[in-house]
Amino acid sequence: MKKKRFVIGVTGASGIIYAERLIQILAPITEIHLIISDTASLIAQDERISFDKFPVIMHDNRNLAAPVASGSFQYEGMIIIPCSMKTLAAVTSGVSSNLITRCADVALKERRTCILLLRENPLSRIHLRNMIEAYDAGATIMMANPPFYHHPETIADLVDAVIARILDHLGVNHSISERWSGFDA
């Protein structure tokens, strides 16, 4: 059986721990094509996160001729995690000036899953408008807002709760976080 294939873009917003955890879960069971922006590389160093330990296929964000830049490159979905407001604006505007935004443009035009995990707070009217535009174009907008009904005890528990929702939207089975089961009456 062929492994599922995903494109993951990491952009320059704090919260790269989310990308690390998603890749940690997906790498053993899927093929991952990873693109990291220059700013995300700097933030990853500051947040003490490295992607070198994972079996992924790396692509240079400046290489618009990479295989993943084409609509003929088959994959199940793209996730930009975290997605900076600059990247959101570029995706919304169809500006494909780097490989991450080109891949998002391709995912949207090909009607593939395209998840944008935003981590900004507070949001301006411009951010909100861009979120609506991206949603209307077919993107799934997610915020790095973990729930608390599962009584998290660690940062990892909070991260897993967000990643669990992403995995749900990618159609990847998991058991990394408790699901809401309602209240006992």
CATH number at residue 96: 3.40.50.1950
pLDDT at position 64: 97
pLDDT tens digit string along 34-62?
999 999 999 999 999 999 999 999 999 99
The pTM for the full model equals 0.95
pLDDT at position 185: 66
Residues of the chain with pLDDT under 70: 1, 185
Among residues 148, 140, 93, the alpha carbon closest in space to that of 117 is found at 140
- Within a domain: 122: yes
pLDDT at position 6: 98
- Within a domain: 175: no
- Within a domain: 78: yes
- Within a domain: 176: no
- Within a domain: 154: yes
- Measured over the CA atoms of residue 127, residue 130, residue 132 and residue 134, the dihedral's sign is negative
Domain range for 166 is 4-170
- Within a domain: 179: no
